[in-house]
Chains A and B, each alone.
Chain A
Amino acid sequence: MRIKSTTTVLDDNMKTTPTEDKIRARMAPGVLTLNGFLGDDKRSINEIIADDEYTLNQLGISAEELAERMEFFQSKSFDSFDGSITIEGVFDVETEVVRGYLPCPFMHSGIYRKSFTIVTNKATGKSVRYSALNIHLIKAHHFFEGKNSHFRLEPTELVNTLWNK
């Protein structure tokens, strides 16, 4: 399976390109964040993206649609400092902003505010928590992070929580 992100085209086979090596290095613990973006995942970045892309296909939603939904909740709650707001009658949303910014590990230009949005679906009682960088990584790179990474997001959980289906 060939996955194309906006900055990288990764090989069909298991070989890594110099670009992927560089990206992987930036995703290592202690480079941009404390524990990095890959957790204990031994798969290549290409495989991580491909597996999550497969899940998204099964769910019938695109990464862009999912990211836009995440962005919608974040922007709605952004100005409600120190408080949560209810959106569409069923989602409790709050965004906390802390000092600083993070760059994209895929070497996209731009920086992303260190903010954490928590969306709770009151109908299911389930919550998801994501950062501004998570939104960018999903939207631009279809990257949900490696297994057991601190900010790993499961596509299925996101879809089940962010929509009231």
Chain B
Amino acid sequence: MLALIIKDIALMCAIGGSLALIMVLAQKWLNSYGEVNIRINGKRDLKVTGGNNLLVTLGDKQIFLPSACGGRGSCGACKCKVASGAGPVLPTEKPFLSAQELAGSVRLACQIKVKTDTEIEIPEEIFNIRRYNATIAEIIDYTYDIKGITFNLGEGETIDFKAGQYVQLETQPYGKIKQKVMRAYSISSTPKLNDRIQLIIRLVPEGICTTWVHQYLKVGDQVSFTGPYGDFYLRDTQADILYVAGGSGKAPIKSILEYLAEVGTNRKMTYFFGARTAKDLYLTEEMHDFENVFDQFEYVPVLSHATPEDNWTGKTGFVMPYFKDAIRDPKNTEAYLCGSPGMIAAVTKALKEYGLDEDKIYYDSFG
């Protein structure tokens, strides 16, 4: 009787083990799509191993699409046109895609599994994006909640970017944070100093990355980032310029001004910086110093909530009413805006009312 029971148990174990083995092998085979070709922009072929998502697959080949959530499908940044090879649009993609994008075969790279030969279209600038390792060289407290952090690239490394572009900083696990996240920050230093970058980062309540930067990063730490990204950069024209920024939106404008200070310009430029109170102002002297560098430049800080303690004698309220005096020819004026979506919307509306062409209003929205 006992022998019979043992035999049955052994038989069941054997069957169970066999089934488990079959499942493991099946999973391996089913998830292995072998070598797959990704044709990029109709001219470049990339041989990859299928089975991973498009974002990761391209990243493994040093092609970095923007992504702020690390491929979790929550940021919608990794859009690219997939002409063929992708399955139907997933429910996880739809909230991020407009009707126009859906009609144009735009997809979220992090949600598409590479299973078969695939054709994609991505901007040529993407090929300039690289992953960099850097060392924290300097941390400056600009305000109570804004820091400037300088990252020195590795020995012999340089980064080629346009003033106004951004990078994606990758956090390391810290405290109770077990996973890495990536967040976008504008470069605030000049492209001429290409062996380093500076970022200006404001502490966001409950922000995983900004808390890491503000409370954990220290000089000498090693970090990684990818970049450069973005189409917010100085256009090479002779038009007058209005800059409008608030908070950490000062970063790309600082980069543009430092760049122009090095290459020289005769363009008429006015820079409006909106802040709530005097304690939210920073780099004020440095910005005013540009008035001595350029022939036609004015820095105009404007406080919306100046307090008696601020002893503020400058401009107050919204920035928009002050544009009038700064615009001499609206059809020959470009605007560069960086700040919250509300600010961008209000300023854009005002600039159009002053006669600026919408296609000459460039912005980097926090949204």
Where the two chains meet, the residues of A that have a C-beta atom closer than 8 Å to any C-beta of B are 29-35, 78-83, 95-103, 109-111, 113-114, 116, 150-151
5 more CB-based (< 8 A) A-B contacts, given A79-B342, A81-B340, A102-B74:
A30-B208, A33-B206, A35-B206, A81-B343, A98-B340
A97–B205 touching, CB < 8 Å: no
Which single member of B75, B94, B274, B346 contacts A101 (CB below 8 Å)?
B75
Q: Tell me which of B7-15, B56-64, B116-124, B176-184 binds A.
A: B176-184
B208/A33 in contact, CB under 8 A:
yes
Given A96-B340, A97-B366, residue A82 in contact with residue B206 (CB < 8 A)? no
Are B207 and A97 closer than 8 Å at their CB atoms?
no
Contact A109 B94 (CB under 8 A): yes
Question: How far in angstroms is the closest Cβ of chain B from A134?
Answer: 12
Inside 8 A of B92's CB, which chain A residues have their CB?
109
Using known A-B contacts A29-B177, A81-B346, A82-B275, determine if residue A113 contacts B208 with beta carbons closer than 8 Å.
no
Q: Is B148 positioned at the interface, with any CB of A under 8 Å from its CB?
A: no
Interface size (B, Cβ < 8 Å)?
Answer: 43
Q: Which residues of B contact A110 (CB under 8 A)?
A: 95
Q: Which of B74-106 contact A (CB under 8 A)?
A: 74-76, 91-92, 94-96
B202 part of interface (Cβ distance < 8 Å):
yes
A111 in contact with B205 given A30-B177, A80-B342, A99-B184 (CB within 8 Å): no
A114 touches B339 (CB 8 A): no
Q: Are B204 and A111 in contact (CB under 8 A)?
A: no
How many contacting A-B pairs (Cβ < 8 A)?
A: 94
B9 to chain A, nearest CB (A): 30
Chain B residues numbered 136-182 whose CB sits less than 8 Å from any CB in chain A: 175-179
List A contacts of B73 (CB < 8 A).
103
CB distance A98 to B96 under 8 Å? no
Contact A31-B345, Cβ < 8 Å, known A81-B340, A82-B276, A97-B340: no
- Chain A residue with Cβ nearest B166: A99
Q: Are B339 and A113 in contact (CB under 8 A)?
A: no
Centre residue among B74, B202, B275 by max chain A CB count within 10 A: B74
Identify the interface centre among B73, B176, B276, B340: most chain A CB within 10 Å of its CB.
B340
Cβ of A150 and Cβ of B343 under 8 Å apart? no
Q: Does B52 contact A (CB under 8 A)?
A: no
In the assembled complex, the Cα of A113 lies from the Cα of B75 at a distance in Å of 10
CA distance A31 to B176 in the complex (A): 10
Q: Contacts A82-B274, A116-B205 given: A97-B341 contact, CB under 8 Å?
A: yes
Chain A, Cβ-Cβ closest to B212: A34
With A82-B318, A99-B184, A103-B74 in contact, do A34 and B177 touch (Cβ < 8 Å)? yes
Contact (Cβ within 8 A) B366 A34: no
- Choose from B69, B274, B366 the contact partner of A98 (Cβ within 8 Å): B366
Cβ of A12 to closest chain B Cβ, rounded Å = 29
- CB B245 to nearest CB in A, in angstroms, measures 11
Identify which of B68, B177, B178, B339 contacts A81 (C-beta below 8 A): B339
| Complexed CA–CA distance, A111 and B206 (Å) | 16
The reply to whether the CB of B332 lies closer than 8 angstroms to some CB of chain A is: no
Q: Does B367 contact A (CB under 8 A)?
A: yes
Q: Which of B92, B275, B339, B367: most chain A CB closer than 10 A?
A: B367
User: Does B246 count as interface, using CB distance less than 8 angstroms?
Assistant: yes
Bound CA–CA A109/B339 (angstroms): 26
The yes or no answer to B304 lying at the interface (CB within 8 A) is yes
Query: Can you list 13 contacts pairing A with B, beta carbon distance less than 8 Å?
Result: A32-B74, A34-B206, A78-B342, A80-B346, A82-B274, A82-B275, A82-B276, A98-B207, A99-B248, A99-B367, A100-B366, A103-B73, A151-B206
Interface presence of B222 (CB below 8 A): no
